[in-house]
Structure 1
Amino acid sequence: MKDLFRAIFNYRLFVLSSIKNDLRIRFLRSKLGTLWIVIHPLMQVLIFAIILSEVLSAKLPGIDNKYAYALYLMAGTLCWTLFSETISKCLTLFIDNGNLMKKMAFPRICLALIAAGTMLVNNLLLLAAVLLVFAVLGHFPGHHFVWLPALMLVTLMLGMGVGLLLGTMNVFMRDIGQVVPVVLQAMFWLTPVVYNINILPENLQSWFKYNPMYPLVTSYQNVLVFGKAPLWLDVVVLAAVSMVILLVALVVFRRASPEMVDVL
């Protein structure tokens, strides 16, 4: 493990330049450039808000804004997008870069770091767009907003841990790549992104809270929309679990790395 972190440090400039090039190439190939990063999630929010706001807006106490439901959706979407896109990116990361791994000698873990950096930059751009929309709608997050970077870090760490583990396994068992999108779709509807958990029967609420994304999404909504503190106890526990998952993923990746090129 010590050698792994030394390799990461030695190739830090390669990682940073690769993130920059990845973003630059993505923007140059599109006429709208960076706008596409925010268009997709914001359009999803708009569709849900138009269709469901009349049904669920009354279920959001504590928000004195007629666009309350749209605000709630954007906060939850910001968290979910970082988590799900990180997993999706890592899921096919090594398969997509198979030719590069065969032709160049570099620490394979750099690919995961490049993916993490790219996802983080994308999410920061989405955050800027969300805050702009918040301002237009007349809503400004309170002082609890300062905790958002910590929440983003935990979300990214959880997504990278799960994604790196699944991405490594997907090289050897391609069925994983077909199953994970279905699981993520189901998990989205089991997470209070589109709805408020308080609308569910009390006997179901406790079960939904076992979803590992519940404390993160709810904490995003608390700091961005409700002006409340994050669910600290749950978030700290989840951060510890995420770190364990990430360490396990690194160990599995390191042991499987020598065989990856042959399989690819």
Structure 2
Amino acid sequence: MQLGRREIASRYRGSVMGILWSLLSPMIMLVVYTFVFSVVFKARWGIGGDDKASFAMNVFAGIIVHGFFAECVSRAPGLMLQYVSYVKRVVFPLWILPPVVLVSALFHSAISIAVLLVAQLLIQGFVHWQVIALPLVMLPLVLVVLGVSWFLTALGVFLRDIGQIIPVFITVMMFMAPVFYPVSALPEAYQGWLYLNPLTPAIEMMRALVLAGHLPSVGDYLLYLALGLACALLGGLFFRRTRRGFADVL
């Protein structure tokens, strides 16, 4: 936890506005995306209403999920290079570095979720009590991101080009998930393909929970949780197997 606090503090060290940027950055992007997709492209959701405020909350929920994923994945390939001095220390548990970044990303996501809930309270006058289940609902996504982070952190040591591919990968993951549009907006023949993106179930579950008060079905949740556990296990195993070669390469 101490490393996590240091990670969060170092991000805003020397900044005039400090941690306020964690609020302003997503809110600025929210305004831009809401205008583009609700006014220019006239996209609509069935959850929470069809007004622009409801549209903004739907988009914001998707941005939170994707932003959490993007923050962890974008940093993972260069993590060992950033902490190269730790690689030489045999006693230092290198496996803990991706979770440290994940804790920092969770902190920023929690701030964004708080903003979303306050907005819902101000706009709709209430917050669904089911939101208390949000940490449990988001657990599978955390496990998926942790596994991917371990994998990319290890791969980034041996394949430096991965850092150039990741920004494209993150963008593809954003537009191939229902961040700016509902799954129902696609032709039925293509809707199933969106669920190959592990962000899709998290976005759909979060929207349904926060904006409509609907808990996910037990079957869907357990399937997503199994995917998360498998991803974390495989990513951790890959990191452990390749860890011995880090010092030689770096």
Return the TM-score normalized by structure 2. Answer: 0.90
Cα distance change on mapping 1:170 and 1:60 into 2, 3 Å: same
Residue pair 1:86, 1:116 contacting (<8 A) in 2 also: yes
Q: 1:22 aligns with which of 1, 4, 7?
A: 7
Structure 1 residue runs of 5 or longer lacking an equivalent are 1-15
1:203-243 Cα offsets, whole Å, 9 max, x none, are: 22122233222111100110111222225433321221221
Structure-2 separation of matches of 1:56 and 1:234: 31
Q: CA RMSD in A?
A: 2.1
Displacement, 1:197? 1.5
Match of 2:30 among 38, 45, 64: 45
Q: Which residue of 2 aligns with 1:60?
A: 45
Distance 1:222 1:56 in 2: 23
Alignment of 1:65-76 (within 5 A): 66=51, 67-76=53-62
- DSSP 3-state at the match of 1:194: coil
| AA of the residue aligned to 1:262 | D
| Contact residue 37 and residue 43 of structure 2 kept, 8 A | no
Which of residues 117, 123, 127 is equivalent to 1:137? Answer: 123
Find the aligned partners of 1:19 and 1:196 in 2 and give their Cα distance. Answer: 34
The amino acid across from 2:67 in the alignment is T
The answer to whether residue 209 in structure 2 is matched with residue 223 in structure 1 is yes
Does the 8 Å contact 1:145/1:224 carry over to 2?
Answer: yes
AA matched with 1:63: G
3-state SS in 1 of match to 2:214: coil
**Contact between 2:7 and 2:101, CA under 8 Å: does it hold in 1?**
no
Equivalent of 2:189, from 203, 217, 222?
A: 203
Q: Deviations over 1:133-178 (max 9, x none)?
A: 3333335331221221012322121111011101101110112222
Distance 1:58 1:226 in 2: 19
Query: Equivalents in 2 of 1:88, 1:231: separation in Å?
Result: 31
Matches within 5 A, 1:50-199: 50-54=35-39, 59-64=44-49, 66=51, 67-102=53-88, 105-138=91-124, 140-199=126-185
- Determine helix, strand or coil for the equivalent of 1:59: coil
Q: Is the 8 A contact 1:112 1:164 kept in 2?
A: yes
TM-score using structure 1 length: 0.86
Cα 1:94–1:129, aligned 2, differ >3 Å: closer, same or farther? Answer: same
Counterpart of 2:200 in structure 1 is: 214
Identical-residue share of aligned pairs (%):
25
The 1:80–1:261 alpha-carbon spacing in structure 2 relative to 1, beyond 3 Å, is same
Letter in 2 for 1:21: R
The separation in 2 between residues aligned to 1:84 and 1:234, in whole angstroms, is: 24
Deviates further, 18-27 or 173-182: 18-27
Which amino acid in 2 is paired with 1:20?
R
Aligned residue pairs, count: 249
Q: Quick check: 2:121–2:127 contact (8 Å CA) kept in 1?
A: no
